[in-house]
Amino acid sequence: MPSKRSVRLGSTEIELDSLVRDSREVADIIADDLEADFQEARYKNFDQKLFPFADAADIAEWDGYLTTRYSPLYLNFDAICSDCPMGPCDLKNTVGRCGLGGLACQARLSLRKACRGCLSQMADTRETLAHAAKLNGQDAQVTWGKHHDRSDASHIGLMTAMWPRNIRDLARAMSYAEAQLGKLLLASYTGYESRGLEGMALHAGSILMVAMDVSELLKMNFFGFNNASDHEMTEMVNWPPADVSGGLGSVQAGKPVVSFIGDAFLSAWYTVKRLKEAGIADKVEVCGIGSVAHDLVRFYSPARVLGPMAMASKLVRYGISDVIVASTGCINWDFLSDSKCAGTKVIWTGAGGNLGLPDRTDDQSESIIQDLLEGLSGAWVRDVEKAAEIAASLSSRVKRPGKQFLSDEQVKQEAEKCTPDCDLCSNRCPNGLLVGQALRKAAKEGAKALFDIEEGCYSCGECEDVCPQRIHLDDLLMSSLAAKAPADKLKMRSGRGPVSRVETTSWAFGSIMGNCPGIFHIMGCGDAKHRGDLGWIAHELVRHNSIVFTAGCAAGDIGRHYSEKKGKYIFEEFGSEGQPRNIMNCGACSGCSHIIDQALKWPRSGSGISHYGNFAETADTSHNLISPTAIVWGAITDRMYAIVAAWVRAGIPVIVGPDSGFGWKRAMLGSKWRWEDWWACSVFDARKMFVDPSPSAMVLPVETKEEAVTYGMVLAMRAADIRDNRQIRLETYIEFFQKHFGEFPDDWHLYVRSDWELPLRYKSRLLRMLREDYGWDIDRLKVKRAKHPDGRLLDIGQYGKEYGAMAFPTTKLPRLVSRRRTSVEKKEEVKAK
């Protein structure tokens, strides 16, 4: 059947070629989108362009805005470029032989870092896709769940314009993502223009989200993962239940322990299946480290989440596991040596590289098991079903010697070797830990003096390498970990999966007109200096009535937060529905896509904007009106760099920290004091409107958790905030600032557009400050005249017109100014006639 060339919407016949550059091969997709989700009025009033299977260049108009307004601020400079045969060239003070400048070189490296961040997730998604197709066939149906409909945004829809119906569609989306990654990698060696390259780095983030969407759909449809969209909204307040335990202290002594590490969940899925079939599931502790842990608990809640990927090396050497089944993940290291010292057997399933283990994929399972029992430290088994068979059988047969840790006296003796005038360890620590200072205390107090630095240590071994006294720092830190292990516990909800537009819309009133200060997305890799930071951040935000989402390793660390007063862990203390004062865990790393997808549903709900092949308009609208704030705490991996790129591209500002946030290639900020930089375009008449600097940054590195929540709150403001919304955000921002830093922020007045926005509890003080410190004209409890940032004192009514865009539709994309004439223009036309 020939493809459609046009579609009728209401009274308008829409030619597909008027919407897309080349409709061949995508005509059916676009026609389907138009009929299912498009609005005639938007087609008539705006210059609509759709970009199915979008290239980076198709979204460059939006990326250009982001990289100009929030111009990348590079935080390190790699001067030597070896990208071509004419090099290496030193770009410190000159351009290279090929003409590449230093700035463009940094942008290339930023793009490369984002691409690297996509690799392991995309490789894993491809493996899962192939496996699902093998089991179910290409025509097997997929669905987001019964509460999802065509108006629910997803990155598959945003980037490809497809609404996936079966595995074949997912394969097409994945092929698109892989092809894009190839193009981006090519650009990272051939591009010459820094802003364009940074735009492509953002594109890499969007591509990663497509792969995560594909991964999640496969997991939910074919492997029994939780899917909130298949449950009634009335269940959500306590669904999934907070019944997942974790931490080293939760593992039952005496039971065999099988642990999974990395991204690939398939081996875990088959292992659990085998254990259940053999009727021995309750006799084996099944644990996970990193992303796979959070996948595991979505289909098997008795599994234990041991810790984030940044802790993986330590957790392997701690020696709790009898068998480890591992694959590539967001952090890779030679953990074979770690597992050997713990006597743990390793089954490596990763297809994308091995650890120097023999490839035993085609050998008989029993022969591999025998070899492992007789002393072989590990085997490479690329067949996940076989790997699962071996793991399930091996776990109860391994006789592992118990791990010995230093006693407190031994810790003191070892620490006594430290000399006071050295501190090479502290100077070399990539996480900024004062190792030497802690060691000197440990010489007197024992292992407990090392508790703090153990939390921030991710076992890179730098400190031990540089120690002139050859102190066995690693042994000391492991003793500290062992001392704390019995108390290391967490409780959490397993990942819920997606959030439907219906549920998203249900909190609209609370988040826009009520007393919810913001929506926050909390993620991280577990390398923050203090393990309790993430839980504290989440608790501080939720108890202040925010809506909080989390996913990945951050969810486990948040689950460690325990309220002594209430006797509850954080996931037990708060509900899990889409409402203020609730916290939702969306799943493993790939579950991050659910968080960003729900954030991009608002343009459809609020402005009728269909998202299919329509990234720029969706992100622009979301960014201007209601996008949330993300906090990435512990941001060490390249994958997190790509994830943050996706968030920035969606118009969502991101706080990164603590130390690893400064180790990134770049920050993205604007200067809040340069008022002339902050403008928006009226969608009605293209008028340039000067607005408050909100959000003032898109990637903001900070040092402490208190800074994270406080600056997170100011980044939650949007120029279009209505006054109720602005009032609660301003109030919480000031409250956090006062509580944590003991003073008012220096920029609060920049966010005041009317006296209605002044929080009641601070109102008289703020009015006095406006008069005395900022030169505003105040009459009792009213602002008569306000000081525009350009220095003019304006009547408050005029001020509102010249500063801010309260509840006003604006755009950053000139293409999206309405074709419709305003009533004023219409009157003028009538007059002229």
State the residues that interact with another protein by CB under 8 A. Answer: 71, 73-77, 420-423, 426-427, 429-432, 434, 436-437, 658-659, 662-663, 667, 669-674, 697, 700-704, 706-707, 711, 737, 740-743, 745-746
Nearer to another protein, 361 or 469 (CB): 469
Least distance (Å) from another protein to the CB of residue 699? 10
In whole angstroms, give the CA distance from residue 599 to residue 579.
14
- Minimum distance between the CB of residue 441 and another protein, rounded to whole angstroms? 9
- CB-based contacts of 735: which residues, under 8 Å, 6+ apart? none
| Comparison of 659 and 755: residue with beta carbon closer to another protein | 659
Q: What is the DSSP string of 720-734?
A: T--HHHHHHHHHHHH
CA atoms within 13 A on the CB side of 513: 5
Residue 208 CB, nearest approach to another protein (Å): 24
Angle, vertex CA 39, rays to CA 36 and CA 42, nearest 5: 150
Residues in the chain: 833
Taking the complex as a whole, the smallest distance from the CB of residue 701 to another protein amounts, in Å, to: 5
Q: Which is nearer to another protein, 61 or 423 (CB)?
A: 423
d(CA 799, CA 803): 6
Least Å from the CB of residue 485 to another protein? 25
Closest approach of another protein to the CB of residue 377, in Å: 34
Q: How far is CA 503 from the centre of its chain?
A: 21
Beta carbon of residue 196, minimum distance to another protein (angstroms, whole number): 20
- Closest by CA to 784, choosing from 771, 795, 798, 772, is 795
Name the helix (H) or strand (E) containing 583: strand 582-585
Least distance in angstroms from the C-beta of 244 to another protein: 32
User: Least distance in Å: CB of 530 to another protein?
Assistant: 11
Tokens at 699, concatenated: 């990637």
Q: Are 453 and 433 in contact (CB under 8 A)?
A: yes
Structure tokens at 518: 């913001």
Tell me which residue of 506, 504, 596, 588 sits closest to 157, measured CA to CA. Answer: 596
Q: Which residues contact 238 (CB under 8 A, 6 or more apart)?
A: 575, 576
Rounded Cα distance, 289 and 387, in Å? 17
What tokens appear for 97 in the block?
């032989």
Task: Please say which residue, 331 or 813, places its beta carbon nearer to another protein.
Answer: 331
The C-alpha atoms of residue 557 and residue 524 are separated, in whole angstroms, by 9
Q: Whose Cβ is closer to another protein: residue 72's or residue 446's? A: 72
Measured from the CB atom, the residue of 76 and 238 that comes closer to another protein is: 76
**How many Å apart are CA 413 and CA 421, to the nearest integer?**
18
**For the range 601-604, what are the long-range contacts, defined as Cβ-Cβ under 8 Å and sequence gap of 24 or more?**
601/151, 601/152, 601/153, 601/501, 601/504, 601/505, 602/504, 602/626, 602/627, 603/153, 604/37, 604/151, 604/152, 604/153, 604/501
> Using the 8-state DSSP alphabet, how is residue 748 labeled?
G
Query: At closest approach, how far in Å is the CB of 33 from another protein?
Result: 41
CB of 267 to another protein, least distance (A): 36
Residue 486 has a CB neighbour count (10 Å cut-off) of 12
- Give the angle subtended at the CA of 140 by the CAs of 381 and 127, to the nearest 5°: 25
End-to-end CA distance of the chain: 51
Cβ closer to another protein: 583 or 655? Answer: 655
Residue 404, SS3?
coil
Rounded to whole angstroms, the Cα distance separating 37 from 22 reads 20
Distance, in Å, from the CA atom of 15 to the CA atom of 12, rounded to the nearest integer, reads: 9
Beta strand 697-701 with 654-657 is parallel
Between 392 and 702, CB nearer to another protein: 702
Nearer Cβ to another protein (745/759): 745
Nearest alpha carbon to residue 632 among 565, 693, 550: 550
Output the smallest distance, CB 429 to another protein, in A.
8
Helices (H) and strands (E) in the chain, counts: 34, 28
8 A C-beta contact, residue 60 and residue 662? no
Please enumerate in sequence order all residues whose Cβ is within 8 A of that of 162, keeping only pairs 6 or more positions apart, or say none. Answer: 29, 52, 156, 169, 172, 173, 612
Cis peptide before 240 (omega within 30 of 0): yes
Nearer to another protein, 711 or 803 (CB): 711
Rounded least distance, CB 658 to another protein, Å = 8
**Minimum gap (Å) between residue 311 Cβ and another protein:** 20
Which C-beta is closer to another protein: that of 351 or that of 466? 466
Q: Which is nearer to another protein, 560 or 749 (CB)?
A: 749
Nearer to another protein, 573 or 659 (CB): 659
Instruction: Point out which residues pair with 562 in neighbouring strands.
Output: 569
Q: What is the dihedral of CA 490, 701, 581, 224, to 10 degrees?
A: -50
17/677 with CB nearer another protein: 677
Helices (DSSP H) in 334-472: which residue ranges?
Answer: 335-342, 365-373, 384-394, 408-415, 424-428, 435-445, 451-456, 462-466
Q: How many CA atoms lie within 13 A of 664 on its CB side?
A: 34
| 262 or 712: CB nearest another protein | 712
State the Rg of the chain over Cα: 28
Q: Closest approach of Cβ 702 to another protein, in Å?
A: 6
List residues bridging with 668 in a β-sheet: 72, 699
Q: Which CB, 262 or 436, lies closer to another protein? A: 436
Distance in Å, CB of 523 to another protein, minimum: 20
Residue closer to another protein (CB basis): 422 or 722: 422
* Beta carbon of residue 517, minimum distance to another protein (angstroms, whole number): 19
The contacts of residue 467 (CB under 8 Å, 6+ apart) are 424, 425, 473
Q: Please answer whether residues 175 and 126 qualify as being in contact, where contact means their C-beta atoms are separated by less than 8 angstroms.
A: no
CB of 458 to another protein, least distance (A): 14
Q: Which is nearer to another protein, 355 or 525 (CB)?
A: 525
